[in-house]
Structure 1
Amino acid sequence: MSKPDDGWIVLFSGGKESSLALYQALENGRDVRRLVFVHSPTAASAYHAPAAPVVRLAAQSIGIPLVNAGLPAVDVEPPDIDADFAPDTEVAEGTEIDSFENTIHALDAELNGGVTGIIVGTVESEHRTDHVRSICNRVGCDFCAPLWGVNPRELAETMIESGLEIVVVEVTAPGFDESWLGRRLDRDALAELEALRRDQGVHLLGEGGEFETDVTDGPHMSRPIAFESHREWHGSWGRLRITDAWLEAPDEADRH
């Protein structure tokens, strides 16, 4: 017996790809019941995991419960900027993979009718695609990768045209400098990324880990995310250290 089409979950990092995949799913009428955040306490991760409080705020603005794959399958709200998920904890290799699958099985048991399918924002990563598809096969749900194989330039333009507010929060490739940290990904930035692609081989979407992003607003969000931060630059790479974050009213420019 097939599962009802009302139990979709989205693998959600708060970055541009997962945000676009989620936005398109909602626009296409999919009933997304949960956002699943894979947060790794180790430096190396199979998934982009930005500041956890920002992801929580994004989920709150979107209005869909957020589940952390490193914790029991329960909602992790409200957001708390001072709380994180044990960033200094050592875990064995593969733990985040096992935890993610355990979370999916728990959600399949929790949701009425089970998990209909998993939506991912993967564009080119065969490893991630194969991993999530294999979990879908074991759970008995659908796998959906709406961005897979789409031309990177086309995807970048779609993100911008869709109204996603995309902020660069980390850069790790030749050609980038400190000025990129905190920069909005707009058409001017896209033109410079095109030049970096030609000169340095940078992927337009950062699929090789060249840069990471957070989405702070979009048409699927009720309130934009604002934050305070400072730049940390280490000579050849850097990141935006977010020290405080909050949800603004749609017409607010300042924190109250």
Structure 2
Amino acid sequence: MKIAVLFSGGKDSNYALFCATHYGWDVTHLVTAFSSSPESYMYHVPAIELTRLAAESIGLPLIEVVTPPDPEAELMPLRDALKELNVDGIVSGALASEYQRRRLDQICQDIGIKSFAPLWHKVQRDYVREMVGEGFGIMVTGCYAEGLDESWLGKILDGEALDKLDRLHRKYGISVAGEGGEYESFVAYGPHMRRRVCVEYEKEWKRDSGKIIVKNAWLE
């Protein structure tokens, strides 16, 4: 079965790709949506340009789609791109968002392909720990929740960081996996990648949230 993976460079799409290859599916393309809206609920935004280096490290061709800011129109370019790929289905990193899952399922129904979400309803705390244990280097690229201060930007998640996220979950109720938009991520290295993505960045922090601004990036 030929599959395209919706790829943001973040932890969820990377692990969905990792799962798809372990299922024995023929992953032919990665597809990245560059949203014109910084407030998009559908697409990942911070450091999205790093997907180009990540795809090179993974060794798969990357299809780039630019989407308009209007939520009602932002799915059209993705749907049109998928129609041209001649695949049997897509794999997404949807974890708990019914909004994302329903919209992707509708695209696939419209063009006659299947939609797979291998992470759907995984236990969020266990899932992130599983990724870290398997050697995924998860970098925090954006912070948007109480308890996540500027020091988290650029941090690579490890056991200590996950313990802190557990404490923040108990104190503030945030998702350890960032599923509520508490933080965004980029996978700089992992077992499915041939070379590490190195990133030079600056931190942009405004009041109680912030993101990294990529200044330079390259493959190690």
The TM-score with structure 1 as length reference comes to 0.82
In 2, Cα distance between equivalents of 1:52 and 1:210: 17
The structure 2 residue matched to 1:95, chosen from 40, 64, 73, is: 73
Equivalence for 1:53: 49
Does 1:10 pair with 2:5?
Answer: yes
Equivalence for 1:28: 23
Report deviation, 1:62.
0.4
In 2, Cα distance between equivalents of 1:53 and 1:142: 27
Please tell me the residue identity of whatever aligns with 2:142. Answer: E
Equivalence for 1:244: 216
Runs of 4+ in 1 over 6 A off after TM superposition: none
Structure (1 or 2) with the larger CA radius of gyration: 1
Report deviation, 1:91.
4.3
The structure 2 residue matched to 1:43, chosen from 35, 38, 43, is: 38
Report deviation, 1:214.
0.4
Query: Would you say the 8 A contact 1:123–1:150 is kept in 2?
Result: yes
Report deviation, 1:156.
0.8
Long gaps (5+) in structure 1:
72-89, 108-113, 249-256
Equivalence for 1:105: 83
Report deviation, 1:53.
3.0
In 2, Cα distance between equivalents of 1:91 and 1:127: 17
Report deviation, 1:227.
1.2
The structure 1 residue matched to 2:173, chosen from 187, 192, 201, is: 201
Please tell me the residue identity of whatever aligns with 2:63. Answer: V
Report deviation, 1:93.
4.0
Query: Would you say the 8 A contact 1:216–1:225 is kept in 2?
Result: yes
Query: Would you say the 8 A contact 2:199–2:218 is kept in 1?
Result: yes
In 2, Cα distance between equivalents of 1:52 and 1:178: 20
Equivalence for 1:253: none
The TM-score with structure 2 as length reference comes to 0.95
Equivalence for 1:156: 128
Query: Would you say the 8 A contact 2:137–2:189 is kept in 1?
Result: yes
SS of the counterpart of 1:49?
coil
Long gaps (5+) in structure 2:
none
Report deviation, 1:145.
0.6
In 2, Cα distance between equivalents of 1:205 and 1:53: 22
Does 1:166 pair with 2:166?
Answer: no
Which structure has more strand as a fraction of its residues?
Answer: 2
The percent of aligned pairs where both chains have the same amino acid is 40
In 2, Cα distance between equivalents of 1:175 and 1:48: 21
In 2, Cα distance between equivalents of 1:49 and 1:158: 24
Aligned residues: 219
